[in-house]
Structure 1
């Protein structure tokens, strides 16, 4: 039994050993097979594939001499009619910078002549209300309508006046000698205006000139020349205000044909154009002195002549001027300064 058991166990161990070596051999074989496959795969990727046919063609090519390459023709100097349309173009013409490197004056290209301007649209809007001291350095220049601002307490008696009865701007331009309706002095207006050394000049002319019809061109021509003369004689910083011609009572036109309210409104449009052209402010005092149809407010009519104003009218006029000035840092305002209101 013992010999049989040992014999049996040896046979079992021998079989196990054979199986173990068989497994090891199979594993080594699989590893070698995988390595060989990877080697051939890598060699196929790195070496360009070439068929037997290509090899034969290369051999023939080596035996046959290679001809010299044909040179590529140069492009034509100029595009033909067919290709010209496809040539790229500049979107903008080439700029000659030297032509702009100048300091000479360039001719104006914009139309600086204002046409068909409604005087109500270009007039100064309401701003703040300046104190009466603002008018201490104002010189009012005009006819008898203007003189009432200096005569009545409801106006500005501390202002300076070059106001004369029955005149137009032609008297100022021609340097005539006239009587001041406020001071009673006989003087030449230009000398009086220059002597006052104003900060602001308020102009109002037209009523006397327009008594006669068809003389608008004369009025405007003298008005413009008057502004030029005043600027030549006054300090450069003087500010000019041109006031609108007020309306008159409806029946005035019966005795004075030129003083038609529709005509006055049309002339005011031209005076507003003049103000824009000459760099002046336009003040539409008609808003305070006339009714919506342009006629003088009845309660402001002095002596019922339909043209001049009573103290109530001059109060309305002066109040309007105080609330319609161009903002100025030097001005003192009643209440809150519009500088803070508008943030300018």
Structure 2
């Protein structure tokens, strides 16, 4: 099955449709800070970590890079001051080719830069998984390869790359205290993520 066909099927599942329909009826709060991604993004309470900011959570459980690309119309409509993007772990889990993920990312970056020239875009590295305690099937070598490509892509397109990956490691995998199942984060995991990016969120641009 092609990536595009799989994405069409994903966009039609109730969980995705429910989340997107919620975005459609929420008040349009412009000039805020928008977090975009998959379940790792969706499951955090970003606004409570940054009460002085207008923070919007646009994470969707199980989303992929092509899914984010498909829903950019909504994100663009928010005219955010900043976008923090983390996506790709589900692409890797689905055995997506790294080059294909990179192309989807580049399409996302180019559209944001074109339609939101005043928006500061931050590409966050994809987080590692924990294999030894939770026997997670993803190989962190693939995650590291993707992150290397994303860093190169960010530099080439003059956007900021935030490398969180090495700061949540223990013996070359996600520290078990930061996860509840080998991939999804514990409260400590989210606190570590926030601690590393808070200077970028609070930075005046």
- TM bracket (short chain): 0.7 to 0.9
User: CA distance change for structure 1 residues 248 and 255 in 2, over 3 Å: closer, same or farther?
Assistant: closer
Instruction: For structure 1, list consecutive stretches of 5 or more residues without a partner in the other structure.
Output: 1-135, 176-188, 332-344
| Distance in 1 separating the partners of 2:68 and 2:141 | 27
Q: Provide the residue aligned with 1:241 in structure 2.
A: 122
User: CA distance change for structure 1 residues 218 and 254 in 2, over 3 Å: closer, same or farther?
Assistant: farther
Kept in 1: contact 2:46–2:55 (CA 8 A) = no
1:212 is displaced (CA, Å) by 3.2
| Distance in 2 separating the partners of 1:152 and 1:288 | 23
| Distance in 2 separating the partners of 1:170 and 1:313 | 26
User: CA distance change for structure 1 residues 148 and 290 in 2, over 3 Å: closer, same or farther?
Assistant: farther
Equivalent of residue 299 in structure 1, options 165, 177, 201: 177
User: CA distance change for structure 1 residues 326 and 146 in 2, over 3 Å: closer, same or farther?
Assistant: closer
| Distance in 1 separating the partners of 2:122 and 2:115 | 17
Q: Provide the residue aligned with 1:34 in structure 2.
A: none
Kept in 2: contact 1:291–1:297 (CA 8 A) = yes
3-state SS of 2:170 partner: coil
User: CA distance change for structure 1 residues 250 and 223 in 2, over 3 Å: closer, same or farther?
Assistant: same
Q: Provide the residue aligned with 2:33 in structure 1.
A: 138
| Distance in 1 separating the partners of 2:133 and 2:93 | 10
Kept in 2: contact 1:203–1:242 (CA 8 A) = yes
Kept in 2: contact 1:149–1:318 (CA 8 A) = no
| Distance in 2 separating the partners of 1:197 and 1:212 | 31
In the alignment, is residue 271 of structure 1 matched against residue 150 of structure 2? Answer: yes
| Distance in 2 separating the partners of 1:228 and 1:161 | 22
Q: Provide the residue aligned with 2:184 in structure 1.
A: 308
Give the aligned CA root-mean-square deviation in angstroms.
2.6
User: CA distance change for structure 1 residues 281 and 213 in 2, over 3 Å: closer, same or farther?
Assistant: same
Kept in 1: contact 2:46–2:56 (CA 8 A) = no
Kept in 2: contact 1:149–1:156 (CA 8 A) = no
| Distance in 1 separating the partners of 2:94 and 2:74 | 28
Instruction: For structure 2, list consecutive stretches of 5 or more residues without a partner in the other structure.
Output: 1-30
Q: Provide the residue aligned with 1:290 in structure 2.
A: 169
| Distance in 1 separating the partners of 2:202 and 2:186 | 29
Cα shift readout 1:288-339 (whole Å, capped 9, x = no counterpart):
322251x11111112xx1001011211111111013x3996x36xxxxxxxx
Q: Radius of gyration: which is bigger? A: 1
Q: Provide the residue aligned with 1:322 in structure 2.
A: 198
Q: Provide the residue aligned with 1:160 in structure 2.
A: 56
In the alignment, is residue 220 of structure 1 matched against residue 102 of structure 2? Answer: yes
Kept in 2: contact 1:150–1:156 (CA 8 A) = no
| Distance in 2 separating the partners of 1:284 and 1:201 | 15
Cα shift readout 1:83-123 (whole Å, capped 9, x = no counterpart):
xxxxxxxxxxxxxxxxxxxxxxxxxxxxxxxxxxxxxxxxx
1:1-344 correspondence runs (5 A) = 137-150=32-45, 153=48, 155-156=49-50, 158-173=54-69, 175=70, 189-213=71-95, 215-234=97-116, 236-251=117-132, 256=137, 259-293=138-172, 295-302=173-180, 305-323=181-199, 325=200, 330=204
The TM-score, its normalising length taken from structure 1, stands at 0.46
| Distance in 1 separating the partners of 2:89 and 2:148 | 15
